[in-house]
Amino acid sequence: MAKRNTVMRRFAVWCTLILCSVALTVSAQDAKKKGGRPGGRQRDGQQQGGGARQRRWDPARMQEMMLKRIKGRLEVNDEEWQAIEPMMKDVFAKRSAQGMGRRGMRRRPGRDQENQEPAEGAALKKVLDDEKSTPEAIQAALTAYRAIQAKQELELKDAQKKLLAVLTARQEAKLVMMGILK
């Protein structure tokens, strides 16, 4: 009798698992037909009737979403935000340019021309790709690359300094905690 109960319990568990997997599959297929995500949720700002084009990563949209969240966290009104937003965008642009120097060797295909690595990064990559490059050529390209990185770092610090000039101590602390300022 105990063996029969164990078999029946296992059977019930397997039936439940199968029914759950079928339900999830049907739900996912239904959501895919509607262009949404499983569970009926839509991505922020995405309309139904989706497709691959709507799911592409859009840096401008991403930045706008980030700025909207930052505005909420800083608890500023529209007038204050008009003074802060251009400086935030400048800081983001400088950080992006500086980061592109670091990631320039691993550039993803299909990126805009403005987001490509600096010429010094391309020159260093070209020298490194050439097996016949002399140590002097590598050192010269590396020095030029480091110089552009230093320039970008100074530009970022200047943009952050300008932003700090319009922030309250509380807003500054919040941006430091978010990793936007040091």
The reported pLDDT for the residue numbered 86 is 93
Judge whether residue 12 has pLDDT over 90.
no
Whole-angstrom distance, CA of residue 60 vs CA of residue 111: 13
Same domain, 92 and 155: yes
Tens digits of residue pLDDT in 121-171:
888 999 999 899 999 999 999 999 999 999 989 999 999 999 999 999 999
Tens digits of residue pLDDT in 89-109:
999 888 888 775 554 444 444
The reported pLDDT for the residue numbered 105 is 43
Same domain, 19 and 73: no
The reported pLDDT for the residue numbered 72 is 92
Whole-angstrom distance, CA of residue 71 vs CA of residue 89: 12
Judge whether residue 174 has pLDDT over 60.
yes
Q: Which residues of 15-26 are buried (b: 16+ CB within 10 A; e: fewer)?
A: eeeeeeeeeeee
Judge whether residue 38 has pLDDT over 80.
no
How many domains are contained in the chain? 2
Tens digits of residue pLDDT in 39-78:
545 555 444 445 555 567 788 888 889 899 999 999 999 9
Mean pLDDT throughout 10-34?
Answer: 72
Q: Which domain holds residue 113?
A: 59-177
Residue 74 lies in a domain: yes
Tokens of 62: 């991403």
Residue 76 lies in a domain: yes
Expressed in angstroms, the distance from the first to the final Cα of the chain is 70
Same domain, 88 and 5: no
Judge whether residue 84 has pLDDT over 90.
yes
The residues, ordered by sequence, that sit 6+ positions from 66 with a Cβ below 8 Å of its Cβ are 92
Residue 53 lies in a domain: no
The reported pLDDT for the residue numbered 36 is 55
Tokens of 77: 């009104």
Same domain, 80 and 113: yes
